[in-house]
Amino acid sequence: MRNTLTSLQVLSKSEISVITRHGIGDELQQAIQILSSNEVGHIDFFTNTEVDISSRNEAVVAFGRVLVDFSNLLSEATLSSLSQVMQADYEYLLGNSLTNVSQNFLNDKLKEKLLILSNQLSKIEASLGG
Amino acid sequence: MGLAWWIKKTYTTPKRYFHFFPNRSRKHSNNPSFAEIDQLEQRLANSTLNSAAELAVLLEVQERQKDHIFSNMHAVLDQCKSKNIRVPPSEKLLPDEVLDLAHRIVNIREKLLEQKG
């Protein structure tokens, strides 16, 4: 069965020949390789949850750090989701089962970072009066 | 004085601010150095003055860093496209928790810019 979210231009694999299917499969593998080679192992995390945020200066400094951390997270989540979508498309094209394809767009590490950023945003919001 | 005096474009959307695919910023931004950011943060930490101009400079530098991150992301996504393969829009690729946080960040930015020092 095909995923509802797809990176394929064709509507159904039945529209294309087996040779074309394999060609597109190769293109998908290359794209997955590009995505995985752009995964950054360690990204610096700048948000400091220890600091008080009671002035506008402190709020802007804290906001800037959250902004950069969140941008890295959003970029990472986008590339990781696309990789999973492409892997599912690849399996679909080849007629394989999708049961082994991860559908977890946010891994535990990203979830943990997201929670830290959300808590820090709450502190900034509180300092700005809700 | 509010930061909006220095950063004119106060209203934006998460889609535009975070360069959601297929949106792309036309300006290519260079990545500011950590030293530059650190220096600005230190200056603010040691300053008793609530200088909107300095805060605006720090925010502008952090936003340049954000733009640089998304410029790199778009470059990777462009390499993945072909006549057979398309990249779904960011909004479909991203989980709701991430989209919610993007909205909150844009709202906070607006408040920060409007707030008088």
Rounded distance, CA B67 to CA B16, Å?
11
Whether A67 maps to a domain, the answer reads yes
What burial class does residue B67 get, using C-beta atoms within 10 Å of its C-beta: 0-12 exposed, 13-18 middle, 19+ buried?
A: buried
CA nearest to B80 within chain A: A31
Residue spans per domain, chain B: 3-114
Is the model's pLDDT at B34 over the cut of 70? yes
Q: Do A67 and B82 touch (CB under 8 A)?
A: no
B25, B65, B69, B74 from B28: Cα distances, Å: 7, 11, 11, 11
A94 at the B interface (CB within 8 A)?
A: no
pTM of the model: 0.90
Most confident residue range from A39-53, A69-83, B18-32: A69-83
Mean pLDDT across the stretch A45-69?
Answer: 90
B104 in contact with chain A, both atoms CB, cutoff 8 A: yes
Q: Is residue A119 part of a domain?
A: yes
Asked if B87's CB is within 8 angstroms of A8's CB, the reply is no
Residue A95 within a domain:
yes
Q: What is the mean pLDDT of chain B?
A: 85
Q: Which pLDDT tens digit goes with each residue over B76-106?
A: 999 999 999 999 999 999 999 999 999 999 9
> For chain A, what is the domain count?
1
B 57-86: CB under 8 A from A: 58-59, 61-63, 65-66, 69-70, 72-73, 76-77, 79-80, 82-86
Range of the domain at A37: 13-127
Q: Is residue A99 part of a domain?
A: yes
